[in-house]
Structure 1
Amino acid sequence: MSVVSAAVCPHPPLLVPEVASGAAGELDDLRAACLTAIEQLAAADRLLVLGSAPAGTTSVGPVSYDGSAGGSFGAYGAPGVRVGAGDAVLPLSLAMGAWLVEQTKAAGLPRSYLAVSSATSPAQCVQLGREIAAGNDRIGLLVMGDGSARRSEHSPVHLHPRAEIFDTTVATALGAADSVVLAALDPDLAAELQAAGRAPWQVLAGVLESGLTGNLAYHAAPYGVGYFVATFT
């Protein structure tokens, strides 16, 4: 098995205290759960951070970045917060993943990044996960993905009646490491619910076929967006 451990985390920029400013404490529990989940990846030989490509990306092929790729939180009001040494090319999901990693002992691992477009079909995502799991390196996989952004009347987009059911299905599947349920998520429904994690979770589904077991550490929607933290070993 090449993926020796995995973690799922969300990517709201508000996890960065400089972005959240006076509201930073509101996500203390989520931030702590993410950092704890990522710590267990440090036993791997290298780290792969997997996330969603920017909205509107139509390419179905994954985009890879090496460990020197940079990211910036300037668009979120914190221009002084950066990750990586190179140009700020990482999409939010991967920049947020890098920021979280750099708060943990997993920061010392060699690292690479992979962005998957929402245009990628479930079958293509699962196949990509199988290919990741078939390698020879001992990989720690960090999967970045948000649930539905339509969980409440205060969500970024107005409440959708199927949002909570969708997120509960994802949460249960993550806790059970249920690759079949994750692989069966409907991309059209995920798009309607603005669930940015669909494609990365379906890549994870292909990885989970190798036999990892799961544990759900966090599931809530503090700002009307579903957030999950889970670990797999």
Structure 2
Amino acid sequence: MPVVAAAVCPHPPLLVPEVASGAAPDLDDLRAACLAAIDQLSTASSVLVVGAAAARATYSATAGGSFGPYGAPGVRIGTGDPVLPLSLAVGGWLLEQTKAAQLPRAYLAVPMDATPAECRQLGQEIADGNDRIGLLVMGDGSARRSEHSPVHLHPRAEIFDTTVATALQYRDLDVLNALDPDLAAELQAAGRAPWQVLAGALTATTLTGDLTYHAAPYGVGYFVASFT
């Protein structure tokens, strides 16, 4: 059964109000857009949260994630040890705030240096399963969008992010598949590999895209999109 719905969200820990503290209202619009996109996954039979990490790994629904390293030791997800990388921990936290929270879930970490072909193949394997999958794809755009970015401004950062945003809006899988890993690494765009997994998973579907958020409030490109 192909993927029946998908959502794309970023994974800054500041999405968690306890981490953001007094700055939490700054991301109210982004948080609301993420939750609305994830709500649409409730039509699926299960949810797979996909995000980038140092190495490939799969985790069950009980896998733990902690926001202690980001200043909120009281916020965690799952009942197991806190093994989830940041992208998946934020994805799990967002998921728990939505109508899709009660669905069975699993987590998939994709290596940040996975090739486009590897990502595409992984996405196609996900879509070839027997379950009605809802994909929650976590990934930030470039972290070099402004002089206030985590890394200094790069002249190609905004062009790269605009390309990704347009591809998500218009479901341009060829553009997502063609994203250059080396350029993405230079621009510190953590979403490149997960977006290419998404492209592989959507190949056999007729789902259409809807980009509902694209901004860089802290010098990092954030996107929210739904595919239904």
TM-score per shorter chain, which class? Answer: over 0.9
- The match for 1:132 is 126
CA distance in 1, matches of 2:173, 2:203: 6
User: How far did 1:201 drift?
Assistant: 0.3
Residue of structure 2 equivalent to 1:221: 216
SS at match of 1:69: coil
Deviates more, 1:202-211 or 1:103-112: 202-211
2:105: which partner in 1? 111
2:93 alignment counterpart: 99
Partner secondary structure for residue 140 of structure 1: strand
State the Cα deviation string for residues 187-229 of structure 1 (Å, max 9, x = none).
0000000000000000001012123211100000000000000
* Superposition TM-score, scaled by structure 2 size: 0.98
What SS does structure 2 have at the residue aligned with 1:219? Answer: strand
Q: 2:136, 2:24 → 1: CA distance? A: 23
Alpha-carbon distance in 2 for matches of 1:231, 1:49: 14
The AA in structure 1 aligned to 2:179 is L
For structure 1, the residue ranges without an aligned partner over 5 or more in a row are none
Q: TM-score, structure 1 length as denominator?
A: 0.96
Unaligned runs of 5+ in 2: none
Identity score, percent:
77
Matches within 5 A, 1:53-68: 53=53, 57=54, 59=55, 62-68=56-62
- Verify the 8 A CA contact 2:140 2:190 in the aligned structure 1: yes
Single out whichever of 206-215 and 6-15 deviates more from structure 2: 206-215
2:198 equivalent to 1:200 = no
CA contact (8 A) 1:41 1:106 kept: yes
Q: Does 1:161 align with 2:155?
A: yes
Alignment-derived partner of residue 89 in structure 1: 83
Would you say how many aligned residue pairs link Structure 1 and Structure 2? 227
Letter in 2 for 1:15: L
Query: Which one-letter code corresponds to 1:173 in the other structure?
Result: A
Which whole-Å CA distance do the structure 2 matches of 1:118 and 1:97 have between them? Answer: 17
Once residues 41 and 65 of structure 1 are traced to their aligned partners in structure 2, the CA distance between those partners, rounded to angstroms, is 19
Moved over 4 A (4+): none
Selected match of 1:145 from 139, 147, 150: 139
> SS in structure 2 opposite 1:39?
helix
CA deviations 1:51-78 (Å, max 9, x no partner) are 011xxx2x4xx31001100000000000
Residue-by-residue CA offset, 1:129-180 (whole Å, 9 max, x unaligned): 0111111100110000000000000000000000000000000000111110
1:48 aligns with 2:53: no
RMSD: 0.7
